[in-house]
Amino acid sequence: MTTPQPRQEGRWTRRKNARPAELLAAALDLFVDRGFAATRLDDVARRAGVSKGTLYLYFESKEELFKAVIRGGLVPAIERGERMVEGHTGSLAELLEKIILGWWQEVGNSQLGGIPKLMFAEAKNFPELARFYYQEVISRGYRLLGRVLDEGQRRGEFALVETDHATRIVLAPLVFLLLWRHSFDVCDSRRIDPETYLRLHMSLILDGLRVRTMVPAAAHVG
């Protein structure tokens, strides 16, 4: 009697389980390179090495695929920042710098850093996606930094500022750096070094937030 041979499922199972990640990686590359409107699901499937039918087993539309890219890449970065805030015990200046520099290493220094340029370019043409991105990424990032600024003011470590505007001022140079790197950076003979740029940015921000002790004016001598 012939002994039944075990089914060779290992490689097939690993390949099947890897497909969503491969599709997301392929979609991210194409979205960043071509934009949302110009990216076709056929091209995503081809780059991931699967059929278009297989892609539809995991994502029912290009919009859902894009949302999955955001949820799988940018949202976890914000969640890690939120956990950092919850567990931090040192100074708020140290925390703010850690969040900004850590975010750059995780997002800005990766292919995910091209997503903001895409959203700025195509938000008005795809308002539903713009609202999704604003709720999942932008507003959540604002709340995260706002908590740090508010707590710094509450502790007396930061000067009193209008938190909503201060949050945008902290983030605006990061957005500029992302847009520049994915557009005019190739034309610039003096290319921006991100680490130097961000260190200087944080130095200026923290100096601006520092509480200053008022020195009484010297008495006038008649």
12-70 pLDDT, tens digit each: 444 455 589 999 999 999 999 999 999 999 999 999 999 999 999 999 999 999 999 99
pLDDT band at 78 (very low <50, low <70, confident <90, very high): very high
**Mean pLDDT along residues 130-137:** 97
Q: Does the structure show a pLDDT above 70 at 205? A: yes
What is the pTM assigned to this prediction? Answer: 0.84
Per-chain mean pLDDT for the chain = 89
Domains of the chain, CATH where assigned:
8-60 (1.10.10.60), 63-209 (1.10.357.10)
CA 66 – CA 178 distance, rounded (Å): 19
141-154 pLDDT, tens digit each: 999 999 999 999 99
